[in-house]
Amino acid sequence: MKAKINIITLAVRDMAASKSFYEQAFDFMASDVSEDLCVFPLEGELFLTLQQVENRLPQALPEEPQEAFSAGFILSHNVDSKEEVDAVVVRAEAAGAQKVTTLIEEWGYSVTIIDLDGHHWEILFTE
């Protein structure tokens, strides 16, 4: 069996706002949308799926709602230049993201943002 990841599902509180955020910030185009599910095809066989939090695999969620937090999980979006990193971040901030960190290292440049639901994204360019 070949190891691979095909679908990343993020729980969201407001489907319309989150769909709009990913379209504006990352230029993702949804292929399937309902009031509680949104699918963005990415490269190859990879899909980013947004699912309304109260409908997202109830057996996988705690009984009681919890405060938003990050357990150290970061999604990375690699782009072709430092300027493109900055452009994605500007669009993301305009769509409601919060900028967290900026790193300039020997290997390249990255900016970490937090989306509308607290998911951390690293926008990066590697040299």
Summarised one tens digit per residue, pLDDT across range 73-92 is 789 999 999 999 999 999 99
122 C-beta neighbours (distance < 10 Å), count:
17
Q: What is d(CA 25, CA 13) in angstroms, rounded to the nearest whole number?
A: 18
Angle at the Cα of 29 (from 25 to 33), degrees rounded to 5? 110
Tokens of 57: 């695999």
Residue 5: predicted pLDDT:
86
Whether the model pTM is above 0.85: no
Structure confidence by residue, pLDDT tens digits, 13-26: 999 999 999 999 99
Tokens of 94: 């305009």
Which residues partner with 112 through β-bridges?
A: 101, 122
Q: Give me the phi and psi of 90, to 5 degrees please.
A: -60, -45
Structure confidence by residue, pLDDT tens digits, 36-69: 899 999 999 999 999 988 776 555 555 565 565 5
Q: Assess whether pLDDT exceeds 90 at residue 35.
A: no
In total, the chain counts a number of residues equal to: 127
- Among 3.10.180.10, 3.60.20.10, 3.30.1490.100, 3.30.70.120, what is the CATH number of 7-55+73-126? 3.10.180.10
